Every structure is written in structure tokens, then in C-alpha cells.
Amino acid sequence: MQPTAATPLHAEVPPLHGRSNPADVADLIATVEDDQVAACFRALEPEQRVDVFEHLGQHDRERLVQALGQPELAQVLHGMCSDDRAAFFRHLPEPSRLALLPLLTPAEQEDVAHLMAFPEESAGALMSTEFAAVPPDIPVERAIEELRALAPRRETIYTVYVVDSERRLLGAVSLVDLITAPAGSLVREVMDPDVVALPADADREEVARTIAKYDLMAVPIVDPERRLLGIVTEDDALDVIELEKSEDAQLASGIAPDPAGTPYSQTPARLLVRRRVVWLLVLLLTALVTARVVAAFEATLASVVALAFFIPVVTGSGGNTGTQSATLMIQALATGDVSVGDWARVFIKELLIGAALGAVLATVIYLIGLAWPDARQVAPVVGATMVAVIIWANLLGALLPLLLRRLGIDPAVAGAPVVSTVVDASGLLIYFGVARLLL
Amino acid sequence: MQPTAATPLHAEVPPLHGRSNPADVADLIATVEDDQVAACFRALEPEQRVDVFEHLGQHDRERLVQALGQPELAQVLHGMCSDDRAAFFRHLPEPSRLALLPLLTPAEQEDVAHLMAFPEESAGALMSTEFAAVPPDIPVERAIEELRALAPRRETIYTVYVVDSERRLLGAVSLVDLITAPAGSLVREVMDPDVVALPADADREEVARTIAKYDLMAVPIVDPERRLLGIVTEDDALDVIELEKSEDAQLASGIAPDPAGTPYSQTPARLLVRRRVVWLLVLLLTALVTARVVAAFEATLASVVALAFFIPVVTGSGGNTGTQSATLMIQALATGDVSVGDWARVFIKELLIGAALGAVLATVIYLIGLAWPDARQVAPVVGATMVAVIIWANLLGALLPLLLRRLGIDPAVAGAPVVSTVVDASGLLIYFGVARLLL
């Protein structure tokens, strides 16, 4: 990632869009004080309000719920896309949810309840029920006529799904294919029957990956009988990937992710402390094992104090090496490049890599130790330890994510803090073991 | 990220797509041995070959370059999208590039040279020159007629750009708006003049963020005179985000990213060693400062050996805390939530957070130290140190990314290894300073 300007327009380019863009207006509302937010929202044209509301984060949406009257809220809720509306209700605190549900029509209430029943991170929770579907045996001209009428009430009509009388998915056809089809063709003749579909319980990351892999504009979600339940569009997939990206990085650094994805500047310090302190405490208690290891070798340490100089060097190098291999493996697992069954191949590859890295680092630290009078005595110990610790840390970093995946735990928790804390204790055990052997 | 199945289809759902999908065929070709790859590719229908080639990674594309004849390669190259073709030539080794360029038509050669002239990670390098553009003063029916003819040779016709006679961007109109416009309307009347555009030197991550923020299907790229140069489509933005995601994580863990994004399983061990060893060596040499710090306090340490027990606890907790705040700040900078100018606000917020975290961790370690006979003497030192180190590490982790961004360096390098190595030396300086003061 390179440093980028805050504005999407370069200084030399004259402004090509004004403040009328819903995403920009939403940004503006996010900066307004609580007592101004309703007035600001009311200043919008009624037809703009839904678009702006959909671009707001959950925090600002809830501020508006507090500030606006029921008729205004009802108008916004009626206009929202079904997936956005369900996500909004999902993240709402129970009392607000109960207060707002009666503002919806019975059909909308049923739709929200239906979508909220799917687990939080599943395809079902992400999908919109506003897709365009046509029967197979009508001419393309009639399909286009139907789409023209449907367009305003559908998430997308660029991909049109072909379903039978029981809503079973038969195929898909793009709007371009309909438009460019020879006059009089039937939908069935121009549709693609090999359509990629996902079940409603698929993980949202799988949804995003499928859309990216097959370059889809939307992926249909089906039930076990192949009945079309909804669609997830490409822009929702993009949002998911952005959210997963930050969640994974936070998990890897020992921070409990925030499901609503509230930005840093809007998260109170109190909440950040709560999301961070648990892992820090767990790791602190784990680090006491390391303290015990050092204590067990008190006598060795008392006779050769120079050994203490290299404690941070040994633990640091081990932690850095393990962090590297863990990062590569977490990524390889996430993209499906490596699976748990490949552990033997990973073991051999990382054994070789660890040996090569260990040899380089050990040689450097050994030569430096020899050149440092106070440390000359322990140089062979540090050198020998370095080879072993690097190989061990490298294997641990690579295999821990595989083990976690095998146990059904998200491998992203095998981030730097966890790996280096585990490596610290075992690394120092190796260090003092070698010291007792050589000195 | 949750563990996901390797296949996009759940076991209960019958297969909805066969092996005919280009992305699946590409996956298959990636697993074939070098001497089989040409035969496998030739088994495809000629019209499928371009699609499959576009879904292959650079490594497999280059295997095909070696294996296929010139007429076959020429046919594939002619069929490729202009952005894909340029990216392919960009990553090709010089000799192959010179051998393949003559297979293109003069116009294609010019297009490749034009696109390759933009810097690697810029909007210009990512854009396709195959966009659909129409003049403003024709009726929508004629525009649709033109699009119908253009469709097969354009990346997308779902967003149509309206340009004047000098190719200056006047607005954009979606295919849906054209189709649903009242008969006889002019393009000018239905277009949106507030179109978001980016300059060709915008960073590719800014492109992806703009597409995500404004929910665009494509973003137009313009020159300083607002002339339309090309477009970047949503699926390319998705690919960029995936690539940046893994590059950032690798940088943060001290791995030099691979520009071609070769998957782990296809990267030789030798190359992985080379991408990892440099940072490990830099950090090893930096860690020697830490060794020097410990050595400077040799006398203190010799008189109270129990101090050594907590060296890994102090460095580990500092590193973990700094990694957390660095991760949050790298993300906040990347999304534009925080900018360099906010450093004072960040300083105060992180000072409070660090104090709270430090107080909790210090209390816990102090009580544990008291309860451990060998360590009772040093418990007050460890407790007092912990407060100071956590506050310091937390501030360092939060402010280092801001400093790097200010210096024009990618803040993602402020990952766990770098932060913890810097924290190690300063943390131990605090530790032994406090020890000398209290003991």
C-alpha cells in the first residue's frame, strides 16, 4: 500500500462530482454533532435520503434513529435494499429493533426475520432478495420489457436469473446477452445453464472469493432443492473483503474484532481497551512460562551472566521468523492454495527454509559474538541455539495455522503475539539447554 | 475468516456448473505438468482459450508461452482485454517480451506500450482502454444500437461514458437508465454529470477504495484535461484489494512482497528464503542494541539474577502492545479514517489507552511476582516497569505508522517484527533503569 491522497481527485483534475453523491453526503453527516444530525438529514431531498442512509455506518444510522420521527424513519426503511435493511436490524440493539420493526410492512417484517435467521457471517445474511428472475420460455423482447418495469425495485438487472415455476435455478443471462440476442430468441436459448451458485450457509468469505474467481457481478444463493433464495452482488463482496481484511489483521495482532466494523476514530478509548486487554493478559500469563524457564537455569545464568545479553536476541529472532512463516501459511490457507492435508509437504519445505535462514543468522551472530570480548565465551552457544531456534520457530509458525484450521479454529489467531509468545519459552529452553551442554 | 470448504458448492447442492467455466479450467491447467500444458490448452475450443488464458496466473501463462507455437499465441494475445494484455507484458521477462511483441498488430503494440508506461501500481497500469463511449446529443435508442454493436469488443457496457468531440468526459449513464429512458430522450438528458473520475497516476488502492465507496461498476480514468483515457472495472478492483491485502500482511511480518503475487505452493523455497532473510538480518542487527543494553547493566544483573527471569515478559508484553496499536493505526491510515495531522489526538487517546492497559498488566504481574518467592524482590521493579513499557510501546506502535506515512514510507512496514524489535531495546533500558533506581 502506498501513501494516497485523502481525496479521490488529483489536484490537477477539476472536480468532476459535487457534494450530491450519497457517499460524500454520508461522510459529511458522520462529522456532524448529535443535535444537528436530524436537521442535516432533513435538508436532503426525500428521494436522496434512502441512498445516503445506506452509505452511513451503523453508528450514524443509530444516531438518526434517535433523532428522527417515526414517519421519516418508516419512509427510509421502506426504501432500503432488503440486504441492507436486514443488516441494519441485525446490528441494532434489541430495544431499538423492537421499536422499529412495526414501522415495516408485514412483507418487509417477514423478509427481515427471514434474512436475520441466517448466521451472521453466512451467504444468507449477506444476500438480497431483490433479484431479477424470468421464466425460460418467453422471447428475449418480453424479458427486456419485464426488466424495464422491474429495474427500479431490483438490486441489479445486469444479471438475470432464469427460474422454473417452482423458482428452481435453471440458468443465468446477462442483460447484454438479452439485448444482443437475435430477435425472437427465447430466454432459454441465450441463457448460460452452467451458473455458479452457493448455498445459504456458505461463509461470506467464500462468497467473496467465488465472485472474484469467476468475475461475477452477482452470485445466486440457492437452497438444497436449487430454489433461488437471493443474490449477493459484487459491491457487497467488495465490502466483505475490506471488512475481513481488517478483522484478520486485528485478530492476528491480538485484538478482538468489532462485528460492526466501527472506525478507530469513532471507537471510544474504553472500548478499545476492552478489545485489547484480554489477549494481552492471556499472553502475559503465557509469558510466565518463559520466566519459569529462565528461573530454572538460574545457576547457569549466575555463573555466566553474558548469557542474559542474548535472551532478547534469541526470543526476537525466533518470534520474527515464526511470524513470517505463520503469515505466509495463514494466507495460503485463506486462498485455498494450501490445505490441511498438505502438512507433510509444508513441513519439508519449511524445514529446508528454516535451515537456510538459521544457517545465515547463526553465522552472523556467531561472528559478531566472537568480535565482542564480553560475549566471546557464549558465542558458540548463541550460534548453535540460533540454528535450532530458527528451524523450530519456522516450523511452529507454519504448522500452527494448519493445526488450528484442523481444529476448526480461525488460523488468523496464529498471529505475531501468539507465535512469538509460544516461541519465547521453547526458544529459551533450547538456549539454556545448549548453554548447559557447551559451557 | 472462518474455515471454508475448498469447493464453492455445498455437498447437498447438486453441481450447477461444469468444468467448462474458464476459471475452473485455469485451475486445472495450473496442476498439469510442463510437458502436458500445451496439449491441455489445445484441447480447448479456440473461443475458450482467451478466457482461460486470462484466468491463469503469470507463472502458468509463461509456461504456455514456452510450450505453444507463435500462431496460437498470437490468436490468444489478439483476444485479450487491453488491461490484461498490458499486465501480462509488464510481468514478462525482457526476452519473452521482445519475442512476443511482434505478434501483436501495430495498434495493439501501441496500446501495450502506452499502458506499460504508467507506473506499476497506478490507475493507468490497471485500466482498460476498451470502454463504451457515446456522444451527448444522440437519442437513447441510437446509443443502445451503438452499444449492441460495441458489446463484444468492450470490457463493460453497463456503464457508458458520455464524451465530447475531444474525448472530454461529460458524464456517465448506466445501461439500465438508457433502457428505461422515455423514447426519444437524448443521452445528455439521462446522463449523470457528477461522475467520479480519477487521474492516471492515482494509486491502485485509491482506485479500489473509490469503487467500493461509491459502489461503482467501473471508475473512469482521465488526463489533466479531463480526456477519458480508460476505465478500471469492479472485478479488477476486487483483484487489487486481494493482492494488497496479502502484500500488506507480508510487509507487516517482514517479508518482501512478490510483485507477481505467486502463490506459496508455487514459490520455490530458495525464493522464499531470499524474500525473508533480509528483514531477519536487519532485525537481528537491531537486536544487538538490546544485547548491548543488557550488557551495560551486567553488574546489576549479576547481583540480582532474578531480574533476568522477566526479560522475556517485559519485551514480550511491550511487543504485543505495540503490535496492537500499530495494526489499528495502519488500518486507520489505509482507510483514511486517520491522517498524519491527527497525531495529537492519537497521542492523547493512546496515552490513555496505554495507561489503562499498563495499569491492568502491572497489577497482575506485581501480584504474581509477590506470590513467587524467588521473584518477590523484583516484583515492584517489574510492576513499575510494566506500566512505563506498556505506555511507551503503545505510543510507539501508534505513532510510528504516522511518522512513516509523513516520511512517504509505506506504514505497513511498521509491523510486529519492526515494532517489537524497537520496543525490546527501549523496554529493557526502562527495566534496568527502574531496577537500578529501586534495588
Q: For residue A219, is it left (φ>0), alpha (ψ between -120 and 50) or beta?
A: beta
Instruction: Name chain A contacts of B339, Cβ cutoff 8 Å.
Output: 6
End-to-end CA distance of chain A: 48
Residue A12, pLDDT > 80, answer: no
* Residue A27 confidence (pLDDT): 83
Nearest-CA distance B197 → chain A (Å): 7
- Pairwise CA distance, residues B308 & A291, whole Å: 8
- Pairwise CA distance, residues A267 & A312, whole Å: 34
* Residue A202 confidence (pLDDT): 93
- Helix then strand count (H, E) for chain B reads 21, 6
DSSP-H helix ranges across B181-233: 187-190, 204-213
pLDDT confidence bin for A248, thresholds 50/70/90: confident
pLDDT confidence bin for A199, thresholds 50/70/90: very high
* Residue A241 confidence (pLDDT): 80
Q: What is the dihedral of CA A412, A417, A418, A420, to 10 degrees?
A: 120
SS3 at position A15 = coil
* Residue B218 confidence (pLDDT): 93
One DSSP character per residue, A100-131 reads HGGGS-HHHHHHHHHHHTS-TTBHHHH-BS--
The whole-number average pLDDT for the span B201-226 is 90
Residue among A27, A228, A348 nearest B13 (CA):
A228
**Pairwise CB contact (< 8 Å): B320 & A254:** yes
Choose the closest CB to B412 out of A1, A202, A364: A1
The phi and psi torsions of A407 (rounded to 5 degrees) equal -85, 0
Instruction: Name chain A contacts of B242, Cβ cutoff 8 Å.
Output: 212, 241
Nearest-CA distance A415 → chain B (Å): 9
Report the run of H or E that residue B134 belongs to, with start and end.
strand B133-134
Q: Which residue of B has its CA nearest to A203?
A: B4
Interface probe, candidates A169, A216, A305, chain B, greatest B C-beta count within 10 A: A305
The phi and psi torsions of A366 (rounded to 5 degrees) equal -65, -45
Interface probe, candidates B51, B192, B201, B284, chain A, greatest A C-beta count within 10 A: B284
The whole-number average pLDDT for the span A62-90 is 91
Nearest-CA distance B433 → chain A (Å): 16
**Pairwise CB contact (< 8 Å): B237 & A238:** yes
A231 bridge partner residues:
A128, A220
Q: Which residue of B has its CA nearest to A12?
A: B224
Contact between B361 and A281 under an 8 Å Cβ cutoff? The reply is: yes
Instruction: Name chain A contacts of B176, Cβ cutoff 8 Å.
Output: 151, 157-158, 175
Q: Regarding beta strands A218-222 and A228-233, do their DSSP bridges make them parallel or antiparallel, or are they unpaired?
A: antiparallel
Contact between B135 and B162 under an 8 Å Cβ cutoff? The reply is: yes
Instruction: Name chain B contacts of A351, Cβ cutoff 8 Å.
Output: none
Nearest-CA distance A296 → chain B (Å): 9
**Pairwise CB contact (< 8 Å): A9 & B235:** no
Contact between B60 and B26 under an 8 Å Cβ cutoff? The reply is: yes
Residue A438: CA atoms inside 13 Å, Cβ hemisphere, count? 17
The whole-number average pLDDT for the span A252-261 is 84
Choose the closest CB to B6 out of A3, A339, A352: A339
Instruction: Name chain A contacts of B264, Cβ cutoff 8 Å.
Output: 328-329, 331-332, 337-338
Choose the closest CB to A417 out of B323, B337, B421: B323
Q: Which residue of B has its CA nearest to A268?
A: B349
Q: For residue A184, is it left (φ>0), alpha (ψ between -120 and 50) or beta?
A: left
- Pairwise CA distance, residues B361 & B344, whole Å: 25
* pLDDT tens, residue by residue, A109-141: 999 999 999 988 899 999 999 899 999 999 999
* pLDDT tens, residue by residue, B251-268: 888 999 887 778 898 889
Nearest-CA distance B98 → chain A (Å): 30
Nearest-CA distance A114 → chain B (Å): 20
DSSP B122: B
Contacts of A98 (CB under 8 A, 6+ apart): none
**How does the average pLDDT of chain B come out, rounded?**
89
Which region among A28-32, A394-398, B82-86, B321-325 has the lowest average model confidence (pLDDT)? A28-32
What is the total residue count of chain A?
439
Nearest-CA distance A117 → chain B (Å): 19
* pLDDT tens, residue by residue, A329-348: 998 998 788 999 999 999 99
* Residue B2 confidence (pLDDT): 41
* Residue B18 confidence (pLDDT): 44
* Residue B313 confidence (pLDDT): 94
**How does the average pLDDT of chain A come out, rounded?**
89
End-to-end CA distance of chain B: 48
Choose the closest CB to A176 out of B157, B224, B337: B157
Residue B291, pLDDT > 70, answer: yes
The whole-number average pLDDT for the span A261-280 is 90
**Pairwise CB contact (< 8 Å): B315 & A317:** no
Q: What are the cell numbers at B437?
A: 533506581
Which region among A60-69, A220-229, B45-54, B148-157 has the lowest average model confidence (pLDDT)? B148-157
The whole-number average pLDDT for the span B175-191 is 92
Contacts of B71 (CB under 8 A, 6+ apart): none
- Pairwise CA distance, residues B439 & B435, whole Å: 6
Contacts of B94 (CB under 8 A, 6+ apart): none
The whole-number average pLDDT for the span B350-374 is 96
Nearest-CA distance B14 → chain A (Å): 8
Q: For residue A295, is it left (φ>0), alpha (ψ between -120 and 50) or beta?
A: alpha
Q: What are the cell numbers at B321?
A: 502492545
Q: Regarding beta strands A159-163 and A169-174, do their DSSP bridges make them parallel or antiparallel, or are they unpaired?
A: antiparallel
Q: What are the cell numbers at A162?
A: 432464469
Nearest-CA distance A261 → chain B (Å): 12
Choose the closest CB to A416 out of B180, B201, B416: B416
Residue B381, pLDDT > 70, answer: yes
Q: Which residue of A has its CA nearest to B246?
A: A331
Instruction: Name chain A contacts of B352, Cβ cutoff 8 Å.
Output: 269
**Pairwise CB contact (< 8 Å): A421 & B316:** yes
Residue among B185, B133, B126 nearest B156 (CA):
B133
Record the pTM: 0.79
The whole-number average pLDDT for the span B90-116 is 92
* Residue A133 confidence (pLDDT): 94
Residue A294, pLDDT > 90, answer: yes
Residue among A228, A151, A143 nearest A190 (CA):
A143
Instruction: Name chain A contacts of B217, Cβ cutoff 8 Å.
Output: 217, 234
Maximal C-alpha separation, chain B: 94
The whole-number average pLDDT for the span B4-19 is 38
Choose the closest CB to B410 out of A2, A17, A405: A2
pLDDT confidence bin for B9, thresholds 50/70/90: very low
Residue A172, pLDDT > 50, answer: yes
Report the run of H or E that residue B79 belongs to, with start and end.
helix B70-79
Which region among A360-374, B6-20, B245-259 has the lowest average model confidence (pLDDT)? B6-20
The whole-number average pLDDT for the span B67-78 is 92
- Pairwise CA distance, residues B131 & B156, whole Å: 7
Q: SS3 helix, strand, coil % of chain A, rounded to 5?
A: 65, 10, 25
Residue B221, pLDDT > 90, answer: yes
**% of residues, chain A, pLDDT over 90:** 63
Contacts of A134 (CB under 8 A, 6+ apart): A143, A146, A147, A160, A161, A162, A163, A187
The ipTM assigned to this model is: 0.78
Residue A430, pLDDT > 90, answer: yes
Choose the closest CB to B249 out of A249, A305, A339: A249
CA angle B253, B255, B256 (to 5 degrees): 140
Choose the closest CB to B408 out of A3, A222, A352: A3
